[in-house]
Every structure is written in C-alpha cells, then in structure tokens.
Amino acid sequence: MLRAAALVRRGCGPRISGPWRRGRSRAAAEASAALPARGRRERVLTPESMNPQVKAVEYAVRGPIVLKAGELEQELQRGIKKPFTEVIRANIGDAQAMGQQPITFLRQVIALCTYPNLLDSPSFPEDAKERARRILQACGGNSLGSYSASQGVKCIREDVAAYIARRDGGVPADPDNIYLTTGASDGITTILKILVSGAGKSRTGVMIPIPQYPLYSAVISELGAIQVNYYLDEENCWALNVNELRRALREAKDYCDPKVLCIINPGNPTGQVQSRKCMEDVIHFAWEEKVFLLADEVYQDNVYSPDCRFHSFKKVLSEMGPEYSSNVELASFHSTSKGYMGECGYRGGYMEVINLHPEIQAQLVKLLSVRLCPPVSGQAAMDVVVNPPGPGEESFEQFMREKESVLGNLARKAKLTEDMFNQVPGIHCNPLQGAMYAFPRIFIPPKAVEAAQARNMAPDMFYCMSLLEETGICVVPGSGFGQREGTYHFRITILPPMEKLKTVFQKVRDFHVSFLEKFA
C-alpha cells in the first residue's frame, strides 16, 4: 500500500481510461485556456484598491527623514565615507535608545514577574518581591504569560486609581473607569473610534493643537474623521488661547460636527505647560460647546520651569464644581514611555474616562475585548509607575535618587537647549517648560525655499534632509507636526547625553550659518 501511494505521488499510478478521463481532460484544457499567462494574475490589493483612509495616514516622526537616516547608518557600516562618523537620532522621544538607564526598581519587579523563581533570590529587595507577588496572584495561572481581563488586571487598575487620587489631592478615582492600554496611543485611538460617526457635514470633527503630535492627524485620517486645527500662540510661549478654540470651532461647523477637543499638556512638540487659568477656560469651553475632552498627559512628570506646575484636567474639572465635574466628558491618558521611566518598549499605559454614558462604557469594554488585552508585562510596568517605593521601604532612597537624577538632567538640558539655539542667528527657541523636545523656529531664505520647491519638498523637509546628509543629525521637520503658513520649525529631542547634546548644538549652529550663506 505504501509503495502504491509513492507511485501515485510520482505520477506512476494506474491510468484512468474511458469517457470520464477524456471529459476531464477537455475541461482541464478549457480551464487552462481561460487563465491568463503565467505570472500575469492581477493582485487583489493594489495602491488603487487599498483603503484610501490608510493611504492618507502620515506619521512624520518615522517618516522619510528616518528612512534616510537608516540608509546612512548602513553606508557608514559598509565603510562609505561621510562628513560625520555617526547618525544621531534626535527625532524621537525614546529615552533608553538615547542612553538613559532604566529605573532599577521597575526592572526588578518586572524581572520577578517574568521569572518568579527569582523570588527566592536574596539579590532582590523585599518591597520589589511584595509587588511582584501581588501582581502575579492577580494573573491567570500566576503568570504574566496569561491573558488578563480586557480592561486590565484588576489590582493594577486599583493601583492606578489610588495613584490618581494621591496625585490630585484626594479627588477620588474609580477603578472601573480605568482602562489599561498598550501605551497611551492605544487609548487615544480606541476612544476616538467610539467618538467618530456621521457623514458629510455631520461627520465628527476632532480639534487638535497645531503644532500637534502626529498620532492625532494619523488616527483622524485612518478613521475618516475631520481634522479641525486650532493654533497655539508661538509668540506667547505656545500658549493655548480659548478665543482661538472658538474661532476654530465656529469655522468647522460649516463642514463637520466638531465634538472632540484634544489637549496635549505638557506639550509635544512645543514643551509648554498650561496654566490652571487656561485649563479652566478650556473646561468651560468644553462644557459650553458640548465637546468631549481628551487630555494627553503623558509628560506630567516632565516639568522643568520653576514658574510652572502640572495640573491634571481631572483635578481642575473636579474643583470647578458639580456643574462641570458631573457633566464634562473627559478621557485622560498616561504612559510608561515618558516621564522619568522611559520604558517605551513595554508599551504600558492607561486611560481614565469619566462621565461616560453607561451604555457607551459597555461598548468601550466590548471594543477593548476585540484585542483581548494589552501586554501584561506593560501592565506590570505601569503598576510600578503608579505604585513606586514609599518612605520607609527598602528601595525608596535608591528609587528617588534615580528619579531625581533623570529629571534633573532633563531640566538642565532643557535650559541648555533654549540658550544654545537662541545664540544662533536665524533660530529662535521658546523656553522648554516641560516634555522632552524643542521646537525651534528657523529662518529659511527665499532661495532655499525655491530650491526645496524644485525638489518637490517642503522647505523645512529640505532643511532637515540637508542637515542629516551633512552632519548626521536626524530631526523632524515642523511640517510633520503642523505650523502656521510661512513659518518653519523642526522638532529635536533633548534626550541625548549632555556632551552629545552639546555636539549636536554645535553642528546645528555651523550647519545653519553655512545654510544661510549658501542660499543668501
């Protein structure tokens, strides 16, 4: 029997004769004749047939500049000579890629959760072990490798709620209003999916700051929503003016239904920290105009200016009285990726959503259940962020030293960045009150604008590409974030080590002076 099967596989089986075989041969021949020549079958998915909303998505932080940076790095590795010896990726807020060391306590807890056999090791402090045991006991099978509830591990949501209450001076938070997410981006995308509806002039309009973090414009394009720009005031340190919100909303009503307002505080890419008075004005605007408020607060630990202080929208809303706190719908977001932690790769985050209609809350949980759950290791990392060592615990002093060192270094680099850029003719940089970036304004001569147009490039893209090719410094053109027409900027992170950052500033200065001379 085995030999017969082998013969059939080799085409040596018994021949089939008679009319059935002849009919089958004719049918096969006719089918073959109907097929196009080999290799000519058209693809199902083509640039013309693909989802046009996906095609419209752009994400400047990882756009053409970054692709070019990768090409240059490969050429350097192959020994091709360049005017520089390394590519410095100052385009993205990836702290540990820039050399920032992980927080020891966070990594200890994650290590213990990942490999529980280490719980018997004397090398780990007891407070880290206590947190790891608590997290593991809440996981299916006492393992990070199991799915969690779609909303996130319950004890971690409880810790997030307790953290919010401490942060906001006792304003209560309900764990049932907490949703653990795959970074803050996942939460922002999810809530926008629920908010976007309608067609034509009734299509949802989403108000975003300009300059903005490109996640917002990308998700708006993907969902087919309508982007409604409101401009931050560059002349007033990128402040948000509520009159500008009113202008944007009034004009948008002609072509969409503007019902979502996004706020980034502290700002990305602009680094401003909003005043409490400004936040009260924004909340009143949201209440008055019946818009849903999204508060992107992932940089809440990154405040450097002694004149500024972070206030959460949740806290300000609660203190404005029940007329506001019981009615304004608010989703706020935090992440493990920024702050002093810099744990971008764990993709940990949460959102708190308040004043949501009960039926919508059920729909939100349903939508989250489609992706099963966020990474449980990222949830554990988020737990350490909201439940760090306290006074009297074994790891407290080391944790505080590491945290204050990271934030102190960032504060010094923020001031250095402002000072260094403002010494360069043709560059102006507002104070970096918070976050991790500078967004300096650059003067681009008319001849350089013409040269960019001849290459079919935005002028600031032309500038940034030239900077990369001549110095190896990778920054992102301001056009990727949005800017007032006729102005040009670039975003640069302040995360590189101090000495490397000084080198970056010197190279940018020399390049800019040369660029102005070349296109004078």
How many angstroms from the chain centroid is the CA of residue 55? 19
Which residues are 351's β-sheet partners? 179, 333
* Mean pLDDT along residues 487-516: 93
Superfamily of domain 60-99+403-518, CATH level 4: Aspartate Aminotransferase, domain 1 (3.90.1150.10)
Instruction: Using alpha carbons, select from 367, 431, 403, 442 the residue that is nearest to residue 186.
Output: 367
Residue 5 has pLDDT above 50, yes or no: no
Over the stretch 99-145, which tens digit does the pLDDT of each residue have? 899 999 999 999 999 999 999 999 999 999 999 999 999 999 999 89
Q: How many CA atoms, within 13 angstroms, populate the side-chain half-sphere of residue 25?
A: 8
Cα–Cα distance between 387 and 393 in angstroms, integer?
A: 12
Is residue 207's pLDDT more than 90? yes
- What pLDDT score does 42 carry? 80
Least confidently predicted of 38-47, 244-253, 323-332: 38-47
Q: Average pLDDT for residues 184-207, to the nearest whole number?
A: 91
Q: How crowded is residue 70: how many other Cβ atoms within 10 Å of its Cβ?
A: 12
Cα–Cα distance for residue pair 233/236, rounded to 1 Å: 5
pLDDT top residue among 229 and 44 = 229
Amino acid symbol at 125: P
For residues 100 and 495, is the Cβ–Cβ distance under 8 A?
Answer: yes
Joined tokens for residue 13: 């089986």
Specify the higher pLDDT residue, 81 or 47. Answer: 81
Q: What is the mean pLDDT of the chain?
A: 88
**Does 464 have pLDDT greater than 50?**
yes
CB 381 within 8 A of CB 110: yes
Q: Is the peptide bond before 425 cis (omega within 30 degrees of 0)?
A: no
Half-sphere exposure of 70 (CA within 13 A, CB side): 6
**Average confidence (pLDDT) over 148-155:** 89
Q: What is the mean pLDDT of residues 385-404?
A: 96
Pairing relation of β-strands 427-428 and 348-354? Answer: unpaired
Judged against a pLDDT cut of 90, whether residue 442 lies above it is answered with yes
CATH class, 102-146 region: mainly alpha
| Interhelix angle 498-518/396-421, nearest 10 degrees | 20
pLDDT tops 60 at residue 53: yes
What is the pLDDT confidence band of residue 273, given thresholds at 50, 70 and 90?
Answer: very high
Calculate the alpha carbon distances from 178 to 155, 351, 354 in Å: 11, 6, 9
**Whole-number pLDDT of residue 114:** 95
- The average pLDDT across 437-451 equals 94
Q: What is the 3-state secondary structure (H, E, C) of 55-103?
A: HCCCCHHHCHHHHHHHHHHHHHHCCCCCCCCCCEECCCCCCHHHCCCCC
CATH topology assigned to domain 148-386:
Aspartate Aminotransferase; domain 2 (3.40.640)
Over pLDDT 90: what percentage of the chain? 68
Whole-angstrom distance, CA of residue 303 vs CA of residue 491: 18
Domain boundaries, the chain: 60-99+403-518, 102-146, 148-386
Please write the tens of the pLDDT for every residue from 409-426. 999 999 999 999 999 999
| Distance from the first to the final alpha carbon of the chain | 87
User: 326-337 b/e with 16+ CB inside 10 Å = b?
Assistant: eebbbbbbbbbb
pLDDT for 28 equals 57
User: Which is more confident, 50 or 323?
Assistant: 323
User: 10 Å Cβ neighbour count for 25?
Assistant: 11
